Amino acid sequence: MGDFNIRKKSDRSVKLICNSMFELLKEKNFEDISITELCNKAELARKTFYRNFKYKEDVIKKSIDMMFREFSNEVHIDKDIEAEKLAYEYFKFWYRRKEFLNLIFENNLFNIVNCQYDLYMRGFRLMMKGEEEMSKDLEYFIIFISGGYWNMLQHWVRKGFSDNPEELAKIWGKHLNKIKCDI
């Protein structure tokens, strides 16, 4: 029972730090935010920060991790999901978090999103029909898909979210379905 309470308290602290970072990014540049300021905003001790993070960038990574988990829990993906449907859920999810994406983009932190994509897209093989093990071909295909999603997301942010999620999903599905892969 004690370990559960410690984990619950740690999770709460991590969320407070992530939310505080988001609030501070609305006021100032990432590089100008100190760890002390972040901890003060979260109303936590600096040692709590260092118990959970090593660098400020780790807070951004953790925020993205939590969003990816939220996406996984929110979107029910099975092996029969169409590319366009998956893309629609993806872009709809990120559209609701456009303020976060804008702040990340404006602070030149979008590369962190890409690094986290690489980690999460490895689970993509579980969605592919008949792919239980990671082959070299599948690994490259997943990197291709990951890059496509990431680049479209970044371009969409750069364009100020001028297209809606449904339009982007149709574009994604239309062109991805043109690719004939025998993986």
Contact 48, 69 (CB under 8 A): no
Mean pLDDT, the chain, integer: 84
Kindly state the average pLDDT of the residues 24-48.
97
**What pLDDT is attached to residue 91?**
95
Q: 66 by DSSP, 3-state: which?
A: helix
- Please report which confidence band the pLDDT of residue 172 belongs to, taking 50, 70 and 90 as the band edges: confident
Over residues 44-99, the pLDDT tens digits come to 999 999 999 999 999 999 999 999 888 878 876 665 667 788 889 999 999 999 99
The residue with greater pLDDT, 78 or 135, is 135
Contact 49, 35 (CB under 8 A): yes
Closest CA to 63 of 95, 16, 29, 24: 16
H, E, C per residue of 127-173:
HCCCCCCCCHHHHHHHHHHHHHHHHHHHHHHHCCCCCCHHHHHHHHH
- Please report which confidence band the pLDDT of residue 29 belongs to, taking 50, 70 and 90 as the band edges: very high
**What pLDDT is attached to residue 82?**
76
- Domain positions in the chain are 1-54, 56-183
Question: pTM of the entire structure?
Answer: 0.82
Answer whether residue 173 shows pLDDT above 90.
no
**What pLDDT is attached to residue 180?**
52
Closest CA to 82 of 177, 181, 182: 177
**What pLDDT is attached to residue 178?**
67
Kindly state the average pLDDT of the residues 150-166.
94
Answer whether residue 182 shows pLDDT above 50.
no
Terminal C-alpha separation, the chain: 47
**What pLDDT is attached to residue 5?**
56
**What pLDDT is attached to residue 57?**
95
**What pLDDT is attached to residue 183?**
42
Over residues 97-128, the pLDDT tens digits come to 999 999 999 999 988 887 777 777 766 555 55
CATH class for the region spanning 1-54? mainly alpha
